[in-house]
């Protein structure tokens, strides 16, 4: 049992699992930044489309995309916390 | 009468066969007990082999996919493949581990046959580093002193939770045993010399060379390791038990023997393993022939090069290591220019004209042993299942894949595909799809034993996707019945509604195919598209259901038709969702992106 404890301390010293976790978090942060950018772009396009016809197919598609991008950002943020 | 005699002879033959193995074993046991020197040497060989086994397993755990990544990424050209094969084998000290990885990568189509042959050639040069290790470190330093601390630290590290530490521990244990094995072999040969001098039995000329080549080959076949044979040869040479030229011949024999081991191993392997074994055989025969023909010239070359490498004239063990490297490099130089024609020839071997229906294309037990290739092979097999299932499903919906994946307007595709395609989806399911699905389940279970938690998650996703694909076929079977029924009774309103469902399917199938063919760098954009399609499918289900209500109210369809239609709208929606979920698992590579998809939402 004691050997196992010593090994755990050695592993903590080298921080193997934390490195992996950090890599994942960095990747997710990049992903969130790119999705946020996309979200801002869609928002502008929706505004532009809505000036013409609010019920157009293009506007419907953009709204759907906006909703999905928002959902993906939320999930990415949740995955960072997890 | 003749029949009875034949039967008696057959029974006697079996009895004899059953007796031979225990008798040989007892004879061997008696020999070990009575001969102290032989006992020490054989124990040394056994300990050395245990060490090799630990080293191999340790590198499997320790490399954590690094070895696999190196072998996959750095084998694009033949020189690179040879270099990578050499380096990988030199580091892990096991050509069999490299061979297993190469065969499994080949089966999973992660690398091509040309690259695999290149790695095997390089690996042959890599095995010569064992001779350098034994002749330099093993004989000069008292390595048994280092063996015991290595074993102690190896065992301690084995207590770790992490595979990396466990692997390092295993490698240390392996090295410890290898060092200990060499020490025992050396001790055994030294004491043997006091009573019996094998060098006295050396035969001169080419007859001696051929006899020793045969000895070397047989020893390697029996021990199943050319590295162990080389260790024996070097220690025997260093203790003066064999003369220099006999040692050179034994080394050539060890190379030939390793080919027999590879061929025996490939008998249970798939066509890729067999082709590689043939390449290995051809390479080793040419190398051995060249080495035998030029043995005296190569010996002179070694004598010329040895002082340049600071090897003393009397150090035969290191000169043997140099000879071993030179003749293997010579073999690569002779065969490598002909690698392309060799591969063309190999591709003509083991081609089975009639492949059995429903048999997996990428799955074998060997592939499942290497995590990277296991996951990739299972992904490819799931795609294979997807293609087979979709072929049946599309035909059951009276559609053709060429039209679905064309540029033609979707409504036109659906309206033009009017004739019923006679297809027994149950029969196809039983003959092709079910077998393939069963193979995926079976092999994924085998793979899970070699994978960590993350790898097991990937396997779980693929199994879930395979199940989704199977359910698509079952859903389509339900749709097919009603589709053909309403077509038969020529009910235009119902035909029109079913065409809407078919359009829905064609839209999703076409989009999934585009995702599959696109090499989009921005996978988050691909996921966004898929999730948007899922949202639209939900909207379309609502719209279709509302339309059914209108048809009922306007007496265009009766309640029985309506119930069939409502069920089939549900089936169509379920198929679309499963297709989109499968696309996320099969064609989005980035796990961080993949995990944002709907199916990961708890």
Residue of B nearest to A77 (CA): B596
Report the alpha-carbon distance of residue B313 to residue B334 in Å, rounded. Answer: 29
pLDDT digits (tens, 9 = 90+) for B60-113: 776 656 767 777 778 888 899 999 999 988 887 777 778 878 887 888 788 889
Q: Is the ipTM of this complex over 0.90?
A: no
Contact A7 B524 (CB under 8 A): no
According to DSSP H, which parts of B521-590 are helical? 523-553, 559-587
H helices within B224-315, ranges in order?
226-238, 244-266, 271-293, 295-308
Q: Which residues of A touch B536 (CB under 8 A)?
A: 64
For B522-544, write each residue's pLDDT tens digit: 888 999 999 999 999 999 999 99
- All residue ranges of chain B with pLDDT < 50 are 602
- What ranges in A1-82 are assigned the alpha helix state H? 2-14, 16-52, 57-81
Decide if B532 and A61 are in contact by the 8 Å CB cutoff. yes
Q: How far apart are CA A8 and CA B156, in angstroms?
A: 12
The CATH number of B366-600, from 1.20.950, 1.20.58, 1.10.12, 3.40.50, is 1.20.58
3-state secondary structure string, B102-134?
Answer: HHHHHHCCCCCHHHHHHHHHHHHHHCHHHHHHH
**B421-438 pLDDT, tens per residue?**
888 999 999 988 999 999
B516 CA: distance to closest CA in chain A (Å): 21
Q: Given this model, what pLDDT does residue B394 score?
A: 94
Q: Six-digit token pair at B489?
A: 């009774």
Residue in A with minimal Cα distance to B162:
A11
Q: What is the pLDDT along chain A (82 residues), one digit of tens a residue?
A: 566 666 666 666 565 566 777 888 898 999 999 999 999 999 999 988 888 877 888 888 899 999 999 999 999 999 887 7
Q: How far apart are the first and last CA of chain B?
A: 76
The Cα-based distances of B372 to B104, B150, B385, B437, B525 in angstroms read: 9, 30, 20, 21, 26
* CA neighbor of B418 nearest in space, from B493, B505, B511, B490: B490
User: Which of A1, A2, A3, A12 to mutate to test binding with chain B, by most B CBs within 10 Å of its CB?
Assistant: A3
Question: Quick one: closest CA in A to B537, which residue?
Answer: A64
Contact in structure between B594 and B580 (CB atoms under 8 Å): no
From the list B171, B165, B62, B58, the residue with the least C-alpha distance to A8 is B165
CA distance B533 to chain A (A): 9
Domain map of chain A by residue range?
Answer: 26-82
């Amino acid at each position: 049992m004691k050997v196992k404890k010593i090994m755990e301390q050695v592993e903590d010293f080298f921080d193997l699992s934390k490195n992996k976790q950090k890599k994942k978090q960095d990747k997710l942060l990049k992903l969130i930044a790119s999705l946020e950018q996309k979200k801002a772009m869609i928002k502008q396009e929706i505004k532009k489309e809505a000036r013409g016809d609010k019920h157009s197919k293009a506007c419907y598609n953009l709204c759907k995309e906006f909703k999905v991008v928002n959902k993906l950002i939320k999930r990415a943020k949740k995955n960072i916390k997890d | 009468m003749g029949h009875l005699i034949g039967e008696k002879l057959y029974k006697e033959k079996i009895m004899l066969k059953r007796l031979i193995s225990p008798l040989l074993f007892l004879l061997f046991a008696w020999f070990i007990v009575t001969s102290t020197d032989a006992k020490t040497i054989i124990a040394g060989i056994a300990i050395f082999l245990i060490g090799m086994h630990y080293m191999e397993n340790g590198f499997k755990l320790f490399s954590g996919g690094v070895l696999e990544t190196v072998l996959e990424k750095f084998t694009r050209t033949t020189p690179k493949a040879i270099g990578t094969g050499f380096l990988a084998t030199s580091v892990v000290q096991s050509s069999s581990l490299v061979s297993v990885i190469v065969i499994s990568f080949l089966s999973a189509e992660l690398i091509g046959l040309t690259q695999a042959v290149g790695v095997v050639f390089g690996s042959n040069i890599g095995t010569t580093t064992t001779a350098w290790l034994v002749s330099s470190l093993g004989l000069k330093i008292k390595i048994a002193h280092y063996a015991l601390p290595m074993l102690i630290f190896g065992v301690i590290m084995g207590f770790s939770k992490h595979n990396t530490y466990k692997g390092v521990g295993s490698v240390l244990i392996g090295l410890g045993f290898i060092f200990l094995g060499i020490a025992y072999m050396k001790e055994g040969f030294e004491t043997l010399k006091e009573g019996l001098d094998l060098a006295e039995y050396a035969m001169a000329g080419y007859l001696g060379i051929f006899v020793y080549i045969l000895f070397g080959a047989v020893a390697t076949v029996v021990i199943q390791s050319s590295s162990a044979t080389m260790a024996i040869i070097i220690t025997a040479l260093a203790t003066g038990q064999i003369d220099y030229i006999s040692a050179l011949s034994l080394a050539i024999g060890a190379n030939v023997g390793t080919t027999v081991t590879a061929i025996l191993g490939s008998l249970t392997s798939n066509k890729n393993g067999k082709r590689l074994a043939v390449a290995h055989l051809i390479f080793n025969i040419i190398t051995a022939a060249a080495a035998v023909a030029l043995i005296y010239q190569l010996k002179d070359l070694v004598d010329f090069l040895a002082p340049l490498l600071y090897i003393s004239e009397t150090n035969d063990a290191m000169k043997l290591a140099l000879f071993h490297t030179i003749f293997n490099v010579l073999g690569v130089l002779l065969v490598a220019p002909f690698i392309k024609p060799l591969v063309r020839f190999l591709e003509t071997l083991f081609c089975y004209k009639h492949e059995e229906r429903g048999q997996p294309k990428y799955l074998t037990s060997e592939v499942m042993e290497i995590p990277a290739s296991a996951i990739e092979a299972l992904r490819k097999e799931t795609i294979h299942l997807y293609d087979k299932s979709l072929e049946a499903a599309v035909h059951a919906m009276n559609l053709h894949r060429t039209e679905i994946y064309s540029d033609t307007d979707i409504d036109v595709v659906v309206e033009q595909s009017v004739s019923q395609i006679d297809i027994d989806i149950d029969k196809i399911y039983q003959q092709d799809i079910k077998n393939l699905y069963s193979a995926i389940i079976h092999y994924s279970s085998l793979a899970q034993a070699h994978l960590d938690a993350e790898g097991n998650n990937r396997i779980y996703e693929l199994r879930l996707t395979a199940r989704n694909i199977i359910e698509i076929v079952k859903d389509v079977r339900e749709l097919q019945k009603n589709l053909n029924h309403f077509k038969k009774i020529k009910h235009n309103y119902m035909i029109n509604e079913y065409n809407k469902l078919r359009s829905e399917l064609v839209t999703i199938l076409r989009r999934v195919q585009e995702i599959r063919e696109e090499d989009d760098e921005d996978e988050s954009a691909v996921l966004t598209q898929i999730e948007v399609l899922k949202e639209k499918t939900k909207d379309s289900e609502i719209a279709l259901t509302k339309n059914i209500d209108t048809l009922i109210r306007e007496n265009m369809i009766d309640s029985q038709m309506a119930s069939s239609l409502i069920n089939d709208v549900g089936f169509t929606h379920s198929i679309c969702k499963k297709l989109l979920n499968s696309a996320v698992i099969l064609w989005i590579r980035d796990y961080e992106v993949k995990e944002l998809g709907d199916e990961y939402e708890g």
